[in-house]
Amino acid sequence: MIDWLKEASIQAVSRQLKLSWNAIDGIMQRAVKRGLSRRAALSPKQIGIDETAFKKRHDYVTIISDHVEGVVLHVGQDRRKSDLKAWYESLSEAQRSAIESVSMDMWPAFINATLESLPYAENKIAFDKFHVAKYLGDAVDKVRRQEHKALMAQGYEDLKGSKYDWLYNPSNMPRKQQAQFKVLRDSALKTARAWAIKELAMSLWHYVSKTWARKGWKQWLSWAVRSRLEPIKKVAKTIKAHLWGILNAIVLKVSNGPAEGLNSRIKMIKVRSRGFRNKERFANAIYFHLGGLDLYPERVIR
C-alpha cells in the first residue's frame, strides 16, 4: 500500500485496490507517524525556509527544508513568526548553533524569528538571489507597462509585444529574437535603462569578499536611486534595507533553489490529490513524499 501511495493519489489507490479512502488515508498517517518517530536527531547545517500556498486568498504553510539532504524537516501551519520560533525552540542549543546558513525571502516574520532564535543569525540569514531577481523583474515590467501606455497614447508601438523579452535571458532567445531585442535594449527607452539596472544587479553575485561585494552593491544602489524610475527606486530601497542578508548569500554561496525545487514537487502532490481539505492532511502528504522518512512497518525490509 505504501509503495502504491508513492506512485498515485489516495483516490486512485482506493479505486484500484477497492478499499475505502479513509482506510488508505489511515495507512498513510500511520506511516508518517512511524517515520517521524524513527527520524534521527536533526543536525541540519544549511536550511531553507519557504512558503507554499495551501488554498487561495493568502493561506500558506511554511516549509523548512534541509538543503544538504534535500528533505522537508518541518511543515508549519502558517507563516507567522510564532510558528517558526516554536520549531527553532524544538531544537537543542547545539543543533541551533550547528546551523550555518538559513536561506529565505524577505518576509519579516521569517527574519525576526531567525534573528531571535539562532546565535549569530545576522551572519547566517541569506536572502535568496531568485527573490531579488523577481523583485527587479517586476519593477522592469512596471516601467515597461507605464512607458508602453505613454507611447501608445502618442501613436508609437515600440514596446508592443515585448513583455517577455525583458524577462527572458537573451542568450536563450532564438537568433532572430536576439537581434530584435538588441535594438530595444540599446535604445533610449526607460524600459531599456531599467533592464540594464536589473542585469547589473544580477551580475553582482560572483564576489568572494564581503567588502568588495558591499562596494559593488553600493555603486549599484547609487545608480538605481538616481535612475528616476520609481519602480526601480522602490526595489532599491528594499534591497538597501536587506543588503546585509544579500551579502551573506553571496559570501556563503547559498540560495533557496533547493527549497524552490521542493516547492514545485509539493505543488505536484497538491494537483495530483486535487487539493486537501485541511492542513493536517496536506502536511502529512508532504512528509510522506518529501520527508525522507522510513515509512514501512518494523518487519518489512526494503
Q: Is there a single domain that holds both residue 111 and residue 136? A: no
pLDDT of residue 302: 62
pLDDT of residue 200: 95
Q: Is there a single domain that holds both residue 245 and residue 134? A: yes
Maximum CA extent, the chain: 76
Q: Per the domain annotation, does 2 fall within a domain? A: no
Residue where one domain finishes, among candidates 252, 267, 282:
252
Q: Per the domain annotation, does 63 fall within a domain? A: yes
**Structural domain harbouring 133:** 129-252
Q: Is there a single domain that holds both residue 112 and residue 147? A: no
pLDDT of residue 234: 96
Q: Per the domain annotation, does 118 fall within a domain? A: yes
| Number of domains the chain contains | 2
Q: Is there a single domain that holds both residue 185 and residue 285? A: no
Q: What CATH code is carried by the domain that includes residue 112?
A: 3.30.420.10
Q: Per the domain annotation, does 211 fall within a domain? A: yes
Q: Is there a single domain that holds both residue 248 and residue 266? A: no
Q: Is there a single domain that holds both residue 141 and residue 109? A: no
Q: Per the domain annotation, does 11 fall within a domain? A: no
pLDDT digit string, tens, across residues 126-145: 998 889 999 999 999 999 99
Q: Is there a single domain that holds both residue 76 and residue 88? A: yes
* Calpha distance 74→108 (Å, rounded): 19
pLDDT of residue 270: 87
Q: Is there a single domain that holds both residue 149 and residue 88? A: no
pLDDT of residue 153: 93
Q: Is there a single domain that holds both residue 268 and residue 179? A: no
Q: Per the domain annotation, does 299 fall within a domain? A: no
Q: Mean pLDDT per segment of 10 residues, for the chain of length 302 residues?
A: 90 90 92 91 90 81 93 92 93 93 94 96 93 94 95 91 86 84 91 95 92 96 95 96 96 88 89 83 93 87 64
pLDDT of residue 148: 94
Phi-psi bin for 83: left (phi > 0), alpha (psi -120 to 50), beta? Answer: alpha
Q: Is there a single domain that holds both residue 237 and residue 259? A: no
Q: Is there a single domain that holds both residue 262 and residue 119? A: yes
Q: Per the domain annotation, does 235 fall within a domain? A: yes
pLDDT digit string, tens, across residues 62-86: 999 999 999 999 999 888 999 999 9
Q: Per the domain annotation, does 1 fall within a domain? A: no
Q: Is there a single domain that holds both residue 162 and residue 191? A: yes
pLDDT of residue 301: 66
